[in-house]
Every structure is written in C-alpha cells, then in structure tokens.
Structure 1
Amino acid sequence: MSSSDRARAEVPFVVIPDTPSVLVTVTDEALREVACGMGTLETTVAPGIYRIEQRFAGAVATQYVEVGAEPFTRCLPLPRIPAPAPVRRTATAHDGHLAAAVRWSRRSTYLSGPPTVMVLLRNLRHGRRLDPYALEIGGESGEAVDGGEAGWHVDEREGWSVWSGPLPPGGYRLRLRRPSGEGLPLAQALWVSEGWTTLVFVGNGPRGAQPQHASVEMAPLGAGWSPLDEELSLAREAALSGLRQGIDLISDQQLFPMLESDHADPLLGVVGAHAILLDRRPDLRRLEEVVRRLAPHLPGHPDVAALCTLLDGGGGMPGPVSSPPMLAASCRLLVEADAADPGVIEDGSVAEAAAEGLVGRGVWTTWLERERRPDPAAVRGGPPPGGPVGSRPLTADPVGRVQAYIQEIAGLEGRAVEDVLHDVSRDELCRRTGLPHRPVERAIEGLRGPGPARGRAG
C-alpha cells in the first residue's frame, strides 16, 4: 500500500481517561509510540492492534485494543491507585474507614473539644497485621502529647485506629512509637493552624505503618473531613506522586482548582504551589498570587514562609522560621534561603535540627531526632512521666559531614584545606551539602583553627 493509501485508511482514534492528570501512551504492534500526552488523546491510526498504557499517581494500567475501519473511541477507567485516604475510585477505598474519618475528624478521642489534629492509621489490604498503637504524636520539643495508647480509638474488625484531639496551634511531629526495623528514630513534621484541623491518613503496609507515604489535608475546625470532592482528592494524589518523583505529573485542569482551594483546604494550595515549581518554566506570577492568597489563612505556617522566600523581598515573611515545614520541598527552600540570608531559619530551633538531620523519605519533612525520648513502655495508658528514660542514637554530626566533604575535595585535588575554603564560599557549601548556614560556618571555623586540618590533605 502506498503512503497516500495508508493515510486515507487511517481512522480517528480517541481515548479519554477518567481524570485529566493521567499520562496516556499509545504504541502500535511494533511497540512504536503513536501518541503520548496527559488527559484525552486524539489522533488518527491505521487499523491494527494497539497498546494503551495509563500512568497515574504511581499506578500503571495497560490494555490492548483492536482498531478496525470505523472511528475508535474508548473511555478509560482510572488506574487502581492505592491511597492513604479512603477516597472512592481508588484501590484502597473502604466505606468503614471513610465513616471513621468523617466521625473522628469532628470528635476527639483524647481530651475534649473539636479536634485540631486527626491521625487515621488503616489497613490498605484486608488481612494485614495492624499494630493500632504504632504511631505517636510528639510536641515541638519531642515529648509525646497523644496520651499514650489510651488516647487512641481502635476498631480491630475494620482494621483501623485513630487519634484526634485539640492541640494548640504550632509545630508537632509524627513518628513510630518504637524505632523502625533500621533502628532509626525518625520524626515527620506536622503543623496545626488556628481555626483548622490537620488530617493525616497513614496506610499500614506489609512492614507496618508508613507515615512517609501519608496524605495530609486540612479542614475548617469543626467541619471535619469531607470525601465529596473526589477530583480534588485525586489531584492531591497526582501532585504528591509528582513531588516524590521530582516531575510534573498534574494537568492544569486539576492544578488550577487546587490553587484556588484556600477556603476549603489551604494545604492543597501549598502542594499545588510546589507542583508549579516542578514545571520547566514555572509561572512565578501565578505562584506569587497563590502565596499571597494563602498567607491570611495560614499565618506563621512554615510551608507558606518557605514559599515566601521565592518572592521579591521575601513576600512579607514574618520572621525566622523555628518549626520545620511539612513538605520536604519547603524545607529545601528554607535551607537555600538561609544559606543566602543567614537567620531565615532560627538558630538552635527545631527547624534547624530538622534541616541538619533531613533524610530523603518521600515528600514529607523527615529527620533523625537528636532528643532523648521516653521509654514507650512507660507511657502506656497515660501521658509520659516527667523524666525521659533511655537515649536515642544521635544524628550524624552535620559539622563533621561538612568538614569531611571539604577534606575529601582537598584530598582529591591535592590541595590545602585552606585553599579549598578560599575558593568555595559558605553559600556554595550550604548548597552542595543541603545544610543551613550554622553547621557550615562551624565546620569552616573548625577547619581554620589550629591543627592538622590546615595542612595539605591526602
């Protein structure tokens, strides 16, 4: 058949995914790419067998179709994504878990009053062993504030446990009550804003609770969680998946409603703002509009402060940040800003400790704790005792990490450490090591002091 005959034989080919942020790829029998794009695809193809692949929020779905002489149109069901929140149209939707989230986002399991924090731990697959007391909520300085196991409400038959209570506005941390299999005392940042309830959905996987893969939402205080807007929930999962992978995975059709959700869930706007930054050419004007709209709803929120560092003049940033932001991408913005303008992160604060001990563990700010923590056995059934018991392993010394890095450069290049310090600025060392200014400055001072470090390395 000639090329003109083949062109005449081609027929319209349209595939329509269930939600616009699905990446669709179509290949022919020879595995040659025919079309690729986010959302609905429209093209023309010759009759034959085609492979349609969908990717959404980490899930992949594939089907083969036969195209004949007639126009082809196919509506594609949403790939079966697992989601920490019990959202419908996902592989992990569960009516009992949904009802629990609605109820306990309005009622407290610990103390009295409308809850400002709810943490729901749930089995994503039936039959998995669930430790209902696997998680602990800590205060700004590390002490447990959830009342121990007595503060949690458990439904073993349905496979979930929940903690909800009226915590004052400010910074908190979520962690495993007992260290993970690696023995690491990891903490994950939480924030409570005045007039809002912070909702944390944690899945229970084959190895137990997985706070690093949590979904975090906000709802007006007293209104509780609402599962009605499924499209926004799916947009959140797509955006979080993009942040995990460092690529833009959300369409404008889903991004724009996220950016305008400040009255319903301002954290969606924060996540959407970071999704903007994943674009090759981010729309900084739109980003500024989003940040300025979010600021009145979330005064003092460290994630909003981090985004303000990208705006001219700091975008009205109120002052040094003392609590770690929830998103790791926000934490990295603060570190970059602190390197260029020391004092963006408050010296000696938890935010500084988190930045120094930051570990790559998903989208949420997670760090190695340096504080001593109470023995979990001592807090069963009630609040922790007055004095901490037992020590926790310390974070690898950030000053030592910087000094080792500088000495390694000196050794590889056969130069004196002092020469390296002369050529590599403090700001550049902050950028390369991902650390705020204080540990870098202490490392430089230590290397410039008397001792063998001043000599030629290697």
Structure 2
Amino acid sequence: MSSSDPASGTPRPEVPFVVIPDTPSVLVTVTDEALHEVAHGMGTIETTVTPGIYRIEQRFAGAVATRFVEVGGEAFTERLPLPRVPAPVPVRRTATTHDEHRAAALRWSRESTHRTGAPSLMVLLRNLRRASRLDPYALQLTAESGAAVDGGEVGWRVDEQQGWSAWSGPLAPGGYRLRLRKPSGEGLPLAQALWVSEGWTTLVFVSNGPRGAQPQHATVEMAPLGTGWSPVDEELGLAREAALSGLRQGIDLISDQQLFPMLDSQRVDPFLGVVGAHAMLLDHKPDLRRLDEVVRRLAPHLPGHPDVAALCTLTDGPPARVASPPMLAASCRLLIEADAADPGVIEDGSPAEDAAERLVGRGVWTTWLEQERWPGTLGSRGGPVPRGTAGARPLASDVVGRVQAYVQEIADLEGRAVADVLHDVPRDELCRRTGLPHRPVERAIEGLRGTGAG
C-alpha cells in the first residue's frame, strides 16, 4: 500500500504493521480511514501501512470486537485480547465462564446425581448471564423409545443461586434423546440426538438464556469414564467453539494450527476429532486422505458411534449401517446422502430414519420433530386442544406427501406428466433434492405411479 502526502505530493513512508490475536482461529480484518480493506486473514496479520488511523475487526465463534488504532512513523504491533465469546462450556478466557459452574462440571462429571456408579452422561444447564431466569428442570433425557431415563426432577441437582442445574448418571451405551420437558416457545416437540459410548462420559453443556434452555446451542465433549471434565487445555476448548461456530454458519472458521490438534485428540476426547473432521470438510478442497486417517484412528475408540459411521461414508471402508441418529446434523446429512445411493445405510424403521425424515434445521445438532404440531396448542382456557379438533392440521405434511407435492409441482411448472418427471428424475436425485432417506421417497414414487397421477 502506498499513498502521498496531500501537502507535498511526495509518497509517505510505509511502516511494518503487525496484529497478533489471542488465539489462532480469530478472523482479522484491517481497514483504513476510507474503509478500504488493508489486510484480511485468520490469525496473525503482518503487512506494511502508511501512518494513519486504522480499524481492526476480530471475529471468533460468533463474537465480534472492533478497535481503532493510530499508526505513526514507527513499526506498529498490537496484541488483541480475545473477543467476549459466549460459550456453553465454562472455559476460561470466554465472557461466560464462572468458577462455580466450573466446579459443578468437575464434580458432576465424576459423580452421579441419578443412581450410582461413574456417570456415562452428564448434562449441565447453566445461566450465561445471572439476570436470566433458570428453570432447573427444563430438560429431559429419554431413551430412543421416548421413555424418560433421568428419574424426573429428583434425578437433577440444582443450585438456583449460582444458576446451574446438573444431571449425571450411568447409562448403557447407545442412543438417547435430549428434550425440553415442556414444548418450546414455538410449541414444537423437538428431540435432539445424544450418544453414549462404552468407556466414555458424554458431557453436554447447555446454556440458559432469556427464553429458557437452549439445547440447540449446546457444546458436547467426551472424557474417559471416571476422569470427568478436564478444563486444562483452553486452546482446544476455544478451537471447539470456533469449529462449532463454523458448522453453524457452514463456513471454515478454524485455522490449521487449531484444527490439527483436534484431529489428533482421540485419546483425550474423540468427539473433538469428529467435530474437527466436519470442520475440515468445510474447506473447499478437503483432504480426504487425511480424513480417512482420522476416521481409522477414531473408530476403535468409538465403536458403533453413528457420527463416525457417517464419516465412514466418505472413505473406502465398509458401508455403514446406522440405527441411531448421529449427534451432529452434518453427520445426519452425510448419512442421508449415502442412503440415497446405497439403501439401507440408514436402517429401515429405525430411530435414525425417523430423525432423518423429520429433521429440523436448528443449528449444529441433529434435531427432529417427534410428532406433528397442531396449531392452537392451547385452548381458550389454556388447556390442550385435542388432535381431533375440527379444522386443525399439521404444521407440515407427512414426508411422503412432501415428496409427492414436489414432483407434482415440477410437473405443473413444466407442463409435463408426473410419469415423465419420475422417468427423468431418479430416486437418488429426489432423495438429494428433498434431503430425505430412500424409503419415504420410494413410497412417494410408488404412490404416484399407483394413482396414475399426471
């Protein structure tokens, strides 16, 4: 960059300009007084600039921080504190860490609040800001059948003064669901996938905001059974938050400097490797050979884990067969794509198929509608409206009807017969376009052909 002194017309000298963020995955943008971009990149910025006023913007894990600096005639170096990141996990150097919440996480990840034995699952619901009203029993844990496994309110430990509520206990390996005990503000009965692995404790940190518990913004970690949560490596914790923020937005927001330790974390926290693998896939040219290495290292630590099975669909290994929904929505999408090409990747009639058919776009985690919502969920006196109430209809039609409506719409727009559309758009393509596994698409096609539509 070069410019001239407006008084003399002579070029002004350039000086070294260095900006060093507190952690490598911070996205830094530098603009000059005219708002022209001078430099942009992840991590440390090194360039030269002419003396003047500059604006430095940091972006990290959904947080933004801006400052203005004046550069004189000498070399300029600025160290930037981490933006005030709100995080469900009480990691230090974030805006929402509290010592009492850290103590609760340390204790209840090693002790059970429900039944006896080392907990294989812990859920910590905590206020990110003290002014929020905490409903300590807002969350419910269930088996894949929908039956509660948390013992109800007596299974939870609560400290309303400190603003946290915890559940922990020994559960058999397999799939589980995290629900709001009462319907969400939209009245939607949503379920969120959880998985418990043999020899590990799954740790779920949920923030509580002005509108209550926010499981869709949770952070999930894993720790060897009996060792509990370990907040020692803050850089890995910050890397996780950066990677999850990238997955929420669908863009690569983590530097290689933080990504590679995540990919090699299988002995400390294998789920961190799963998150890192998906973060790596956000690159416009992901290294599939490295992905294959990551999956092979993860597989022995997480046998049967549906998120690992989803990553296996991108490697040369044996085809996955999944009955439980994976925790990450990105994993669920991989399984749906694989099931379209190889029917049976998602087992027919399984909880995984049910979740895939009713998937809701709600952030990072696999979340689905357990049953159709009917409008007017409260009667005139605040009671529930029976399902048979005249005029009530589901928020969304059944998945078979959705596919049939999509095909019919194509036929109407193009002035063609439905049979011709079905001939030109194969099942695999319909699965891809509708984001559904093979079975409901096949039922829709059979129904359209059986009625002789179009």
TM bin (shorter chain): over 0.9
Cα deviation for residue 8 of structure 1 reads: 6.1
Q: 2:318 aligns with which of 316, 319, 322?
A: 316
1: CA distance, partners of 2:345 / 2:191: 22
Kindly tell me the number of residue pairs found equivalent between the two proteins: 433
TM-fit CA distance, 1:128: 1.0
Find the counterpart in structure 1 of residue 171 from structure 2.
167
- Distance in 1 of aligned mates of 2:177 and 2:10: 62
| Residue in 2 that maps onto 1:347 | 348
- Cα gap change, 1:95 to 1:7, in 2 (>3 Å): farther
- Determine the C-alpha separation between the residues in 2 that align with 1:20 and 1:8: 32
Question: Which of 244, 248, 255 is the matching residue for 1:244?
Answer: 248
Q: Distance in 2 between matches of 1:232 and 1:391?
A: 48
Correspondence for 1:234: 238
CA distance in 2, matches of 1:433, 1:240: 25
> Matches of 1:111 and 1:394 in 2, distance apart?
39
Amino acid at match of 1:203: S
- Which residue number corresponds to residue 375 of structure 1? none
Measured against aligned partners, the alpha-carbon deviations of 1:284-327 in whole angstroms (never above 9, x if no partner) come to 11101000000000000000000000012xx234x520000000
Task: Determine which of 288, 291, 295 is the counterpart of 1:291.
Answer: 295
Once residues 307 and 102 of structure 1 are traced to their aligned partners in structure 2, the CA distance between those partners, rounded to angstroms, is: 31
Is 1:399 aligned to 2:400, yes or no? yes
Matched residue type, 1:365: T
Cα deviations across residues 340-379 of structure 1 (Å, max 9, x unaligned)?
000000000000000000010000000000399xxxxxxx
The amino acid across from 2:198 in the alignment is E
Counterpart Cα distance in 2 of 1:2 and 1:114: 69
User: Post-superposition shift, 1:141?
Assistant: 1.1
- In 1, are the aligned partners of 2:262 and 2:276 still within 8 Å (CA)? yes
Higher RCO structure, 1 or 2 (CA under 8 Å, sep 6+):
1
The 3 A distance-change label for structure 1 pair 99 and 391 is farther
Structure 1 contact 120–202 (Cα < 8 Å) conserved:
yes
Is the Cα–Cα contact under 8 Å of residues 244 and 362 in structure 1 kept in the other structure? Answer: yes
Q: What RMSD in Å do the two structures reach over aligned CA positions?
A: 1.8
Alignment of 1:429-448 (within 5 A): 429-448=430-449
> 1:116: which partner in 2?
120
Q: TM-score when scaled to structure 2?
A: 0.93
**Post-superposition CA distance 1:45-87 (Å, at most 9, x none):** 0000000000000000000000001100010000000000001
> Which residues of 2 match residues 14-413 of structure 1 at below 5 A?
14-312=18-316, 315-317=317-319, 319-370=320-371, 396-413=397-414
What CA distance in whole angstroms lies between the structure 1 residues aligned with 2:136 and 2:10?
Answer: 62
Distance 1:371 1:2, change over 3 A: closer
Q: Is the 8 A contact 2:309 2:321 kept in 1?
A: no
Contact 1:369/1:394, CA 8 A, preserved across alignment: no
Q: Secondary structure at the match of 2:336?
A: helix
2:123–2:166 Cα contact (<8 Å) kept: yes
- Give the deviation of 1:450 after TM superposition: 2.9
SS at match of 2:451: coil
Amino acid at match of 1:423: D
- C-alpha displacement of 1:136: 0.2
Give the CA deviation at 1:6: 6.4
Q: Distance in 1 between matches of 2:76 and 2:355?
A: 54
Is the contact made by 1:242 and 1:249 (CA closer than 8 Å) also made in structure 2? Answer: yes
- Compute the displacement of 1:395 (Å): 6.5
Contact 1:262-1:269 within 8 A present in 2 as well: yes
Gaps of 5+ in 1: 373-389
Q: How big is each residue's C-alpha offset from its partner over 1:172-195, in whole Å with a ceiling of 9 and x where there is no partner?
A: 010100101111110000000000
CA distance in 2, matches of 1:223, 1:394: 45
Give 1:47's aligned amino acid.
Answer: P
Residue 450 of structure 1 pairs with residue 440 of structure 2: no
Rounded to whole Å, the distance in 1 between the matches of 2:328 and 2:116 is 29
Q: Distance between the aligned counterparts of 2:387 and 2:203, measured in 1?
A: 31
CA contact (8 A) 2:372 2:396 kept: no
Separation (CA, whole Å) in 1 of partners of 2:33 and 2:11: 18
1:260, CA displacement in angstroms? 0.3
Offset at residue 396 of structure 1 (A): 3.5
Decide whether the 8 Å contact of 1:83 with 1:237 is kept in 2.
yes
Do the aligned partners of 1:295 and 1:304 also contact (CA within 8 Å) in 2?
yes
Q: Is the 8 A contact 2:19 2:78 kept in 1?
A: yes
Relative distance call for 1:6 and 1:366 in structure 2 (3 A) is farther
Give the direction of change, closer, same or farther, for the CA distance of 1:139–1:7 in structure 2 (3 Å limit): farther
Distance 1:436 1:156 in 2: 43
Quote the residue 2:378 is aligned against: none
Seen in structure 2, the aligned counterparts of structure 1 residues 284 and 6 have a Cα distance that, compared at 3 Å, is: farther
Residue 369 of structure 1 contacts residue 395 of structure 1 at CA under 8 Å; is this kept in 2? Answer: no
Superimposed CA distance per residue, residues 129-179 of structure 1 (whole angstroms, 9 cap, x where no aligned partner) = 100000000101111110111100000110000000001000001010010
Hey, what's the Cα distance between the residues in 1 that align with 2:73 and 2:269? 48
Q: What is the CA–CA distance in structure 2 between the aligned matches of 1:29 and 1:361, rounded to whole Å?
A: 39
